[in-house]
Amino acid sequence: MNMIDIEKIRAETPACENIIHFNNAGAALMPEPVFAALISHLELERDIGGYAAAERASEELHAFYTEFAALLNAEPDEIAYVENATRAWDMAFYGLQLQAGDRVLTHASEYASNFLALLQQSKRLGFAIDVAPSDASGQLDVAAMEAMITPRTRLIAITHVPSQGGLVNPAAAVGAVARKHNLVYLLDACQSAGQIDLDVQEIGCQILAGTGRKFLRGPRGTGFLYVAKHLHNDIEPPFIDLHSAEWTGLDSYEWAPGARRFETWESFVAGKISLARAVRYAREIGLPAIQQRVTDLAASLRRELADVPGITVRDLGKQLCGTVTLTKDGEPPDELARRLEGQGINVSVTGAPYAVLDLGARGLDAVLRASVHYYNTDNEIDRFIEVIRG
Ligand SMILES: Cc1ncc(COP(=O)(O)O)c(C=O)c1O
């Protein structure tokens, strides 16, 4: 495994000099090469116009597909550019041919927008939503989930790493169950892409959605979708345009080949190019090394928090990642977040309305979320602990 050159990485992330950024689960800091790719394409658009600029950048645009294919162990034509993780997930989910009487399996850690989409479609179409229980650690209980599968179960839709905690769900074990029962498996990897080494073959998901701005360190307004080739013809994208399909006759059209059918003609070209650069940046460092460092930093943050009076770490699960959630007696999460921000430390707060089945069910109104990335340091953790103590 590569050693990460932290000094170089931090030098390429100039904001590290001024702030302690523990909001990587919200939006991470872009590294200079990613920022440069973004700005230089915008400059090209300014100088020669958006269409000519896209033509000149055809190689960089093509790299979007090859970079994500390499990141996920997929094929380039299984990758689509979508403006964010929610719409990427939607483009696949709303295209599945679910019917009245079908059943969909999910878990309490499911992302709020995905669960809302499940609710909306279940009301429209009449399928049932089964929420698989958690095991004693709080992660999805795979055996209990398998026991809930019926002949009408069609889909497993779960979130790898939730927004509201450091839990990593056992995605590959779920994949093995999906394969055994021949179910479509839709994985939300929005919080795991960029901090966890993902391999869609190993996980066994046929659909995976993610965003650019979080642990991948890309710009805002960017996302991606993976759909396994054998499913392309089974999913009818909910929207169509002249990029995702060809108008072949007066009353006919044909879907574009590959995952392009999930895209739209108009897109944030500079964002797409710079997200591809962000993926290359992560791959150059090495995902296994990133995963190791992020996990280690978060583990030492949790260890130090355990010694602070009044602090409760709220993360569930057996395998943990870079997101650390906590509450402090006598200081509500939003007040604590404001105090940290006043000291130059970025964090975020997740409230129960964003996680009704999780935080709501645990009786937590909100948690403070401190999410570290590989460019954070032990000194930053020490400073965070100092401020948390008050
Ligand atoms: C687990 C998870 N899934 C999906 C999303 C949605 O991502 P986006 O805002 O890019 O649509 C988020 C955003 O916080 C998330 O945490």
Which residues on neighbouring strands pair with residue 227, listed in sequence order? 207
Given pLDDT bands bounded at 50, 70 and 90, which one contains residue 1? Answer: low
C-alpha of residue 197 to centroid of ligand 1, in Å: 18
Residue 86 CA, closest ligand 1 atom number: 11
C-alpha of residue 19 to centroid of ligand 1, in Å: 24
C-alpha of residue 159 to centroid of ligand 1, in Å: 10
CB 333 within 8 A of CB 140: no
> What integer pLDDT is reported at residue 124 of this predicted model?
97
Given pLDDT bands bounded at 50, 70 and 90, which one contains residue 268? Answer: very high
Q: Does position 3 have pLDDT exceeding 90, yes or no? A: no
The verdict on the CB of residue 348 being under 6 Å from ligand 1 is no
pTM above 0.95, yes or no: yes
CA nearest to 88, candidates 229, 194, 225: 225
Does residue 21 sit in helix, strand or coil? strand
DSSP β-ladder status, 252-255 and 245-249: antiparallel
What mean pLDDT comes out for the span 262-270?
A: 98
Q: Say which residue the tokens 């009408």 belong to.
A: 152
pLDDT by residue (tens digit) across 43-52?
999 999 999 9
Calculate what percentage of the chain has a pLDDT beyond 90: 99
pLDDT by residue (tens digit) across 134-174?
999 999 999 999 999 999 999 999 999 999 999 999 999 99
Rounded distance between C-alpha atoms, residue 6 and residue 4, angstroms: 6
> What integer pLDDT is reported at residue 44 of this predicted model?
98
User: Domains in the chain, please, with CATH?
Assistant: 6-27+287-389 (3.90.1150.10), 35-284 (3.40.640.10)
Residue 211 CA, closest ligand 1 atom number: 10
